[in-house]
Amino acid sequence: MQRQIKILFSRFFRWRYKHISNKTFIHLMSVVVGFLAGLAAVTLKNTTYFIEALVDRGIHFFSTQLYFISPILGLTLVYLYVKYVHKEKLEHAISSILLAMSKKKGIISVKKIYTPLITAPLTVGFGGSVGLLGPAVASGAALSSNLSRFLHINAKTRSLLIACASAGAIASVFQSPIAAIIFAVEVFSLDLTMISLLPLLFASISGVLTSYFFLGDETLFNFNITDKFQIRDTAFYILLGVGTAFASIYFTKMYFGILHFFKRFRSPKYKLLVGGVAIGIMLYFIPPLYGEGFGYINHLLDGNSLQALGKTPFDEYTSNIWVVIALLFGITIFKAVAMTTTFAAGGAGGIFIPTMVMGSTLGNVVAKVINNLGMGFEVNESNFTLIGMAGLIAGVLHAPLTAIFLIAEITGGYELFVPLMITSAISFLITKNAMDHTIYTRELAKTGALITHDKDQTVLTLMQLEDVVEKDFKTVNLEMTLGEMLHQSVAKSTRNIFPVVNKEDVLMGIVLLDDVRDFMFDTTLYDKILVETLMHNAPELIFYETDSMQTVMQKFQDSSAWNLPVIRDGKYYGFVSKSKLLTAYRRKLINFTKQ
């Protein structure tokens, strides 16, 4: 049976190579992965809504106080799944995809197809304060990666199709095909050429059609623009841009700060307990932090601030508008805290939708403050709610174009393009100057695994150190005499460098052929001179585990050396030659820029 299947697929591959051009095949594949990613997103949403409905029924049947306990239950289920089924640490969705594209040739584990579809609904369905977009993208990317491997697609095309799957997932979640394409370009640092644009376009269309087929034309935000942009409001949109920029910086710093705090708890059980209790306390005082928050955003857009806030311990004071503003500002402050605590406690989800929740709240707060200062100014609170979302997306994700087109598409608010551009641009510029990297990219940048729009840096990132290490250098040891070195190593080598190692293969130094050239033919010195007296330190060392290709290139530049030794696990591993490094770089650059 297996042999028949292999024969069948072999015939398929031969037929495909004969009748379908590579370009056409990529376009067909982009449609397929867009559909699969859209299907993953739909499955994720429906599963989460189903769990939310069950939890909601249980809470109303027993006690509303369970709202504050349910996140702990969800986190516990995720913990049990990860420990006994997944058996690997959960990774941040977008960061892991970027790492796979830069260092793993687009190879993503099969587990990441189904794990996000289980852990994210359990986290969000039980009230975890995270989003579903990241898990949807992760599942779609894993589907695309494994399908590409099965169909023998090369690494470069595989990475493009992963970006296509991401676009398909985003288009399906938000029903916004244009923003999905722009997200793939901004976040995955793709060059916007016809080679990448058409597959992204096909995948995005496929994803959004999948969403329409299974979910109909329901929209996330039921909102129509009533007040168009007024030139007199420009100063307020500039103010909102500055506000969302500082909120973006706060959001990012709080994310890494809380994760760092939770590192002191070595046991996942303690993280779950501390994080679960902290989330429960926040939900008690600020109920809108529960779950994703799309319903909350819709209430703000409809002007129902009290309904958005829900039942809180401060209900008797909400007749005062400044109390309402203070409570909404509290959501702005604590959304980042609740989201990161959910992650730190072991939950699974994304940061994109929490960013929208925080931005919508801040925009609404700014509008309410302007309208209630008593200075005669009045702005549209719903418009500011929308534009606040764009400001946070632009700042937190460093994706201003995604922010502009996403908000315009999901709300039909194209009349707000000018204020969207003003706020998003200001937020992005301030945040970019304050922080070079986002939540998605900071850790990758530290290890030199970040793909950027800089072709030179991207090519270096895509190169693998293992591919340029040469291991045919003859080693010598400290106790060797000159004669032994000449007969055992020099005579049998085509190289002019000889690494000196001890019994544990630890590099002690190097000997150059030039170091022995003056007396290598004087046989009277063969037994008198030891390698130990000939060796000297290498001009620089390359550390296999920690040095990125950018660092390696910089070490060659600073040392002016033509060959540098590589240390792996503390021992001598081989050499990298400048000529081979530059040749590999040139080949990778040609392949990367080939149109």
Same-domain status, 474 and 441? no
Residue 165 has pLDDT above 50, yes or no: yes
Residue appearing with tokens 């925009």? 363
Residue 60 has pLDDT above 60, yes or no: no
Q: What is the CATH number of the domain that holds 314?
A: 1.10.3080.10
In a domain, 221, yes or no: no
Contact between 321 and 381 under an 8 Å Cβ cutoff? The reply is no
Contact between 128 and 349 under an 8 Å Cβ cutoff? The reply is yes
Q: Measured between alpha carbons, how far is residue 297 from residues 300, 380, 440 in Å?
A: 5, 15, 24
- Backbone φ and ψ for 92, nearest 5 degrees, come out as -65, 130
Choose among 234, 154, 186: nearest CA to 416: 234
Residue 242 has pLDDT above 90, yes or no: yes
Digit-coded pLDDT (tens) for 172-207: 988 889 999 999 888 887 666 667 788 999 999 999
Average confidence (pLDDT) over 290-298: 86
Q: Measured between alpha carbons, how far is residue 118 from residues 51, 75, 77, 165 in Å?
A: 11, 12, 10, 19
Contact between 279 and 129 under an 8 Å Cβ cutoff? The reply is yes
Q: What's the number of domains the chain is made of? A: 3
Same-domain status, 499 and 405? no
Same-domain status, 111 and 90? yes
In a domain, 225, yes or no: no
Element (DSSP H or E) covering residue 271:
helix 268-285
Mark which of 169, 187, 215 sits at the end of a domain.
Answer: 215
In a domain, 40, yes or no: yes
Residue 280: band (very low, low, confident or very high) from pLDDT cuts 50, 70, 90: confident
Same-domain status, 301 and 382? yes
Name all contacts of 453-459 with Cβ < 8 Å and 24+ positions apart.
Answer: 453/189, 453/191, 455/589, 455/592, 455/593, 457/550, 458/189, 458/592, 459/585, 459/588, 459/589, 459/592
Same-domain status, 410 and 470? no
The predicted pLDDT at position 595 comes to 44
582/272: higher pLDDT: 272
Contact between 461 and 445 under an 8 Å Cβ cutoff? The reply is no
Same-domain status, 547 and 476? yes
The predicted pLDDT at position 169 comes to 93
In a domain, 515, yes or no: yes
In a domain, 12, yes or no: yes
Average confidence (pLDDT) over 287-305: 86
Element (DSSP H or E) covering residue 574:
strand 571-577
Determine the Cα angle at 453 with ends 339 and 27, to 5°. Answer: 90
User: For residue 153, what are the domain limits?
Assistant: 2-215
**321-344 vs 352-372: helix axis angle to the nearest 10?**
170
Choose among 388, 414, 372: nearest CA to 228: 414
Please give the mean pLDDT across all residues of the chain.
85
**Beta pairing partners, 568:** 571
The predicted pLDDT at position 438 comes to 85
DSSP class per residue in 127-174 = T-S-BSHHHHHHHHHHHHHHHHHHTT--HHHHHHHHHHHHHHHHHHHH
Q: What is the CATH number of the domain that holds 492?
A: 3.10.580.10
Q: What is the Cα–Cα distance from 86 to 88, expressed in whole angstroms?
A: 6
The predicted pLDDT at position 223 comes to 66
Contact between 550 and 557 under an 8 Å Cβ cutoff? The reply is no
The predicted pLDDT at position 396 comes to 94
Q: By mean pLDDT, which of 219-223, 241-245, 247-251 is the weakest?
A: 219-223
The predicted pLDDT at position 388 comes to 95
Largest CA distance in the chain: 103
In a domain, 222, yes or no: no
The predicted pLDDT at position 34 comes to 94
Same-domain status, 431 and 446? yes
Contact between 574 and 469 under an 8 Å Cβ cutoff? The reply is yes
**Beta pairing partners, 470:** 575
SS3 for 35-53 is HHHHHHHHHHHHHHHHHHH
Contact between 123 and 72 under an 8 Å Cβ cutoff? The reply is no
Same-domain status, 445 and 473? no
DSSP structure class, residue 562: S
- Backbone φ and ψ for 433, nearest 5 degrees, come out as -70, -30
Contact between 232 and 226 under an 8 Å Cβ cutoff? The reply is no
Same-domain status, 571 and 481? yes
Residue 128 has pLDDT above 50, yes or no: yes
Q: In the chain, what is the straight-line distance between the N-terminal and C-terminal CA atoms, in Å? A: 42
Q: What is the number of residues in the chain?
A: 595
Mark which of 215, 245, 269 sits at the end of a domain.
Answer: 215
Same-domain status, 396 and 269? yes
Sign of CA dihedral 238, 244, 245, 246: positive
Mark which of 421, 452, 483 sits at the end of a domain.
Answer: 452
Digit-coded pLDDT (tens) for 201-239: 999 999 999 988 888 766 666 666 767 778 888 999 999
Choose among 456, 427, 432: nearest CA to 358: 427
Same-domain status, 509 and 438? no
Digit-coded pLDDT (tens) for 27-39: 899 999 999 999 9
In a domain, 223, yes or no: no
In a domain, 306, yes or no: yes
**Contacts for 530 with CB less than 8 Å, ≥ 6 apart:** 478, 479, 480, 481, 482
Same-domain status, 183 and 255? no
388/491: higher pLDDT: 388
Residue 288 has pLDDT above 50, yes or no: yes
Element (DSSP H or E) covering residue 22:
helix 22-62
